[in-house]
């Protein structure tokens, strides 16, 4: 009977297209917006993937990775002296203006790395040598920086080229790949000492301290020890990640904006699918009543409706997922807008679409369940 | 073939009311009714007299309040809904006024529905359906959609659908009302043939007095009750009255 149920559905082209279209749209909206949202959230924690450290020591009022409050230079030694700390290095982070060849300015994220260890160095060096960053006026620029700062030049910036960073000459000694900054600024790495020379002098210049627990110390124990000894806040990598994410949930309208669109997708999908499927069932009520009169049980009719509903669900989801994948591939190639699709996202959307379909089928099943087979004898 | 005296349907004192309170309508007011195996019996009467309600009760598609309904020896009154559904699935074939063919399915697919509901495999069901359509004069048209057929042809498909699972009771609701006179007569000839099977009973509800002549007996209803039962011999049961069967040409002359 199920193949006949599908033929009944496919025979009503307009409703079939409407159902599949509605579910495709819902899938597209929910998955694409969620992927952009996750991508954006991921960008908020880009510092952590670009610097990679087990312990992040910051001012005790700092709640997230993009809003650092400067520490005193001596604080790095206080962290080093805390029990359970294997090593600790200073990092300076600031937004500086880079001057383009055409006279325009672009902001860059300047990261000052510990001169000796270069802890917090960029994850992937594409051209040049990391160690050359210790040369005078040297910087390592990421791919986005090369693209952005090359504006107005005859050819893209490369190794050995210079540009103005806060009115001082910066020479590119390496090009790296780094995760995209939340605000879209290119990452520019220098040594800690060099970074302090690029940036205007302030009373406190240390942004944060990266540290690692001593052997035998857990991350939590070492973090507690640092906090107890220094009065600063010591985050494990995981803690800072979630603290940053939740900070954006609590303090920005980003989650609400995205959630409302995702919810809209769910509502539109449910409404279109539910209403269309209900109309389909309503129009076929006489035929379904005839099937019931002929001995089709409520269970069989319910299963037929479920097969119809889930079939359009699979098709709609499949088309929507394909479109999102195509969108994702195109934006990932361009680098923006943000896009991140962990496996949980398509699975979640799939379950949502199947939920919509089950709900739609349920409306129809309720109707069919209640019809008397004698309906077929009424003119 | 003559109808046997064995009862296919035996109904006593059946009542059915629609609605409640002041809006209640008593559609059946203690109906007594019998149909024999191997006969074509028509239920006739004016609109609203309870014909279709009685047909629905016989078919097991409508509950009734009181009385006794036995179909081929099985009492519908004591059956659970699932058992009634099972009973209909195996023993009852339906022919509807508006044919009720599913427009998006081919003729073969429409006909094989009762077989599929009964659990027959798809291939076997389609073969049996195609063969039956051939026998009913629709050779080679099994893969067409119902909309390509005339009313008479559609009713033939509906008849095929009603017979494909070889039911013992065939229920027909105004089978000729949507057809012209000649086509209606052809359809009634077909139903007449079907009723010649000694183990089968065909019950037809109709307004159409042009087809009365095809019945073995006529059950005349009025105001929720059976008034008279007429047979071909001119007998009109205990209530008397004139026969509803048209006079034979011999008598007219």
pLDDT tens string, chain B, 253 residues long: the values are 444 568 888 989 888 888 888 888 888 888 888 888 888 889 988 888 888 888 888 888 888 888 888 888 888 887 888 888 888 888 888 888 778 888 889 999 999 999 999 888 889 999 988 888 888 778 888 889 999 888 888 888 888 888 888 888 988 888 887 777 777 777 788 788 877 778 888 898 888 788 888 888 888 888 888 888 887 766 655 555 555 566 543 333 2
B219 in any annotated domain: yes
The residue of A281, A293, A298 whose CB has the most chain B CBs within 10 angstroms, and thus the best one to mutate to test that interface, is A293
Q: Which position has the token pair 């509803």?
A: B244
Closest CA–CA distance from residue B232 to any residue of chain A (Å): 28
**Eight-class DSSP state of A71:** B
Q: In what order do the strands lie in the sheet with B66-71?
A: B25-36, B7-18, B66-71, B74-75
Name every chain A residue with its beta carbon within 8 A of the beta carbon of B94.
290, 293-294, 376
CB atoms within 10 A of CB B179: 21
Closest CA–CA distance from residue B167 to any residue of chain A (Å): 11
* Whole-number Å distance between alpha carbons of B81 and A85: 76
B191 in any annotated domain: yes
Closest Cβ opposite residue A287 in set B62, B100, B109: B100
C-alpha distances in Å from residue A236, one per residue of A114, B62, B211: 20, 71, 91
* Whole-number Å distance between alpha carbons of A8 and A57: 65
Chain B CB within 8 Å of residue A6 CB:
no
pLDDT value, residue B234: 64
Q: Nearest 5°: CA angle at B17, between B11 and B18? A: 130
Tell me which residue range forms the domain holding B72: 7-252
Flag if B59 and A297 touch (Cβ within 8 Å).
Answer: no
Query: How many domains is chain B built from?
Result: 1
Closest CA–CA distance from residue B169 to any residue of chain A (Å): 12
B106 in any annotated domain: yes
CB–CB of A57/A88 below 8 Å? yes
CATH number at residue B34: 3.40.50.300
A-B Cβ pairs (cutoff 8 Å, strict)? 81
CA B2, B5, B7, B13: dihedral to nearest 10 degrees? Answer: 120
B105 in any annotated domain: yes
Closest Cβ opposite residue A286 in set B85, B100, B174: B100
Flag if B82 and A297 touch (Cβ within 8 Å).
Answer: yes
Chain A CB within 8 Å of residue B159 CB:
no
B1 in any annotated domain: no
CB–CB of B14/B226 below 8 Å? no
Residues paired with B201 in a beta bridge: B169
């Amino acid at each position: 009977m199920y193949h006949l149920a599908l033929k009944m559905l496919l025979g009503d082209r307009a409703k079939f297209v409407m159902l599949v279209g509605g579910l495709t749209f819902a899938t597209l909206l929910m998955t694409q917006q969620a992927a952009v949202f996750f991508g954006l959230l991921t960008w908020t924690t880009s510092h952590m993937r670009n610097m990679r450290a087990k312990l992040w020591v910051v001012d005790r009022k700092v709640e997230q990775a993009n809003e650092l409050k400067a520490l005193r230079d001596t604080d790095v030694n206080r962290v080093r002296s805390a029990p359970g700390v294997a090593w600790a290095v200073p990092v300076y982070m600031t937004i500086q203006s880079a001057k383009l060849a055409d006279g325009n300015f672009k902001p860059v994220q300047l990261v000052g790395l510990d001169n000796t260890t270069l802890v917090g160095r960029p994850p992937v060096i594409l051209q040049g040598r990391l160690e050359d960053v210790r040369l005078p006026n040297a910087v390592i620029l990421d791919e986005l920086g090369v693209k952005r700062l090359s504006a107005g030049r005859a050819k893209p910036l490369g190794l050995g080229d210079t540009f103005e960073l806060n009115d001082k000459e910066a020479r590119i000694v390496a090009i790296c790949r780094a995760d995209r900054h939340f605000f879209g600024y290119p990452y520019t790495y220098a040594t800690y000492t060099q970074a302090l020379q690029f940036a205007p002098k302030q009373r406190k210049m240390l942004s944060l301290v990266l540290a690692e627990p001593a052997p035998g110390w857990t991350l939590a124990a070492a973090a507690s020890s640092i906090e107890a000894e220094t009065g600063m806040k010591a985050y494990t990598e995981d803690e800072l990640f979630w603290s940053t994410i939740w900070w954006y949930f609590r303090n920005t309208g980003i989650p609400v904006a995205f959630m409302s669109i995702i919810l809209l997708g769910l509502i539109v999908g449910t409404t279109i699918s539910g209403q269309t499927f209900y109309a389909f069932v309503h129009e076929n009520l006489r035929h379904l009543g005839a099937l019931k009169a002929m001995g089709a049980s409520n269970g069989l009719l319910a299963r037929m409706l479920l097969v119809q509903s889930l079939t359009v669900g699979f098709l709609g989801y499949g088309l929507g997922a394909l479109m999102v994948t195509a969108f994702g591939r195109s934006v990932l190639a361009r680098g923006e807008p943000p896009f991140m699709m962990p496996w949980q996202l398509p699975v979640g959307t799939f379950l949502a679409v199947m939920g919509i379909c089950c709900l739609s089928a349920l409306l129809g099943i309720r109707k069919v369940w209640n019809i008397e087979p004698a309906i077929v004898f009424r003119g | 073939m003559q109808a046997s005296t064995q009862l296919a349907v035996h109904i006593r004192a059946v009542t059915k009311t629609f609605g409640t309170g002041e809006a209640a309508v008593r559609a059946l007011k203690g109906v007594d009714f019998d149909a024999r195996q191997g006969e074509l019996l028509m239920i006739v009467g004016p609109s609203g007299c309870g014909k279709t309600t009685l047909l629905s009760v016989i078919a097991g598609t409508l509950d009734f309040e009181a009385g006794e309904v036995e179909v081929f020896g099985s009492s519908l009154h004591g059956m659970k809904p699932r058992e009634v559904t099972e009973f209909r699935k195996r023993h009852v074939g339906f022919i509807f006024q508006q044919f009720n063919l599913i427009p998006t399915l081919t003729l073969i697919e429409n006909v094989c529905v009762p077989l599929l509901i009964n659990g027959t495999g798809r291939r076997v069901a389609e073969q049996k359906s195609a063969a039956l359509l051939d026998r009913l004069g629709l050779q080679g048209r099994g893969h067409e959609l119902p909309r390509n057929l005339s009313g008479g042809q559609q009713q033939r498909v509906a008849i095929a659908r009603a017979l494909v699972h070889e039911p013992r009771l065939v229920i027909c609701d105004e089978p000729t009302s949507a057809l012209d006179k000649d086509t209606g007569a052809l359809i009634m000839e077909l139903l007449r043939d079907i009723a010649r099977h000694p183990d089968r009973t065909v019950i037809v509800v109709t307004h159409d007095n042009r087809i009365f002549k095809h019945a073995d007996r006529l059950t005349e209803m009025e105001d929720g009750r059976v008034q008279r039962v007429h047979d071909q011999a001119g007998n009109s049961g205990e209530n008397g009255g004139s026969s509803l069967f048209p006079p034979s040409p011999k008598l007219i002359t």
